[in-house]
Structure 1
Amino acid sequence: MRIEDYRELFAALRKRPLVYLPRADFADVVAFVEGCDHGNARSLLTGFREWLVTRAGCGDNLVWWSLVLRLTEPEGPKSPRDIDPGTDARAVETLLRCLDDLLTLRQEQDGLHRIYAAHQAWLDSRARGGCLAGGAAACPAVNWPRPRVTSAE
């Protein structure tokens, strides 16, 4: 499957999750996405964790789904087992929105390069100024790469 096919699949999952999953909770959606990634020799989510780190501003030691939870609820639980139903639904929406943004960016000619360049800028910023986890006043922030907007011609 091509990236655009996965964007369509994830859009369909967003509209009718129970067609694809036994439950529409965050853990099942994560498992589905992981399965799609494994079915693509672990290349579908290339750059996803790094992209999420630049968005979250911290968490370079976390797995991608934990970063999605951090983006959903920065001060909340970091395990899918510990989230309430409202947060769970928001986490599913955050994940599917992030996947669409990532895959849109990945379709651009230099998209993956821009993801890794933003992550390296984040790493450089953290090395200079530290992070909350290390006692700094804040986590570093960088302008994370968004898909380019082109005008219709």
Structure 2
Amino acid sequence: MTHRAQCAQLHARPALYGLKPSYGEAVTFLRGYDLATDGGALRGFTEWLVVRSGHRTSLAWPALALRTALAVPPDASFSAGALTEEQDRAAFDALFTLLDEFFAATQSPMALARMYSDYRALMED
């Protein structure tokens, strides 16, 4: 099963993995999944999110994806500590939409290389 298919299944049936449809639980699972694949599952996801946003940042993918999901401006102060149930579910769904877009955009080695080139250019400005 591809990483894209695995993530789609996790999104569709989180209870199958012992999870609630919660952003925090999904992030915890995905971090473990990424570690289990020696960083291969989500390689480039942080950089892709940075390029997608068009803003330099040192945030890790969980914070970037959450800010994207909730449409938090890049320069705004934000704490993820107290999400409402609706925000948590929206962030959960948005995370998997972002992952699907990431897997689609970086399917080929050339597309992944182009994304890293764009990331480097953005970070060097």
Fold shared, TM-score > 0.5 on shorter chain: yes
**Alpha-carbon shift at residue 59 of structure 1 (Å):** 5.3
2:34 matched to which residue of 1? 37
The answer to which structure, 1 or 2, has the higher relative contact order (CA under 8 A, 6+ apart) is 2
Instruction: Tell me, yes or no, if the aligned pair for 2:19 and 2:26 is still in contact at 8 Å.
Output: no
Classify 1:107/1:26 alpha carbon distance in 2 versus 1 (closer, same or farther; 3 Å).
Answer: same
- 2:44 is aligned, of 39, 43, 47, to 47
Instruction: Flag as ranges the 4+ runs of structure 1 deviating above 4 A.
Output: none
TM-score calculated relative to the size of structure 1: 0.70
Report SS of the residue matched to 2:2.
helix
2:85 matched to which residue of 1? 85
Q: Give the AA of the match of 1:21.
A: G
Instruction: Tell me, yes or no, if the aligned pair for 2:23 and 2:92 is still in contact at 8 Å.
Output: yes
**Alpha-carbon shift at residue 64 of structure 1 (Å):** 0.4
CA distance in 2, matches of 1:27, 1:15: 16
CA distance in 1, matches of 2:14, 2:111: 28
CA distance in 2, matches of 1:13, 1:100: 12
Report SS of the residue matched to 1:69.
helix
**Could you say which structure has the higher helix fraction?**
2
CA RMSD of aligned residues (A): 1.9
Taking every aligned residue pair, what percent have the same amino acid on both sides?
Answer: 28
Unaligned runs of 5+ in 1: 128-153
Q: Give the AA of the match of 1:67.
A: L
1:117 matched to which residue of 2? 117
CA distance in 2, matches of 1:5, 1:43: 11
- 1:25 is aligned, of 16, 22, 26, to 22
Question: 1:1-153 residue pairs with structure 2 within 5 A?
Answer: 5-58=2-55, 60-73=57-70, 74-75=72-73, 77-79=78-80, 81-124=81-124, 127=125
Quick check: which has more Rg, 1 or 2?
Answer: 1
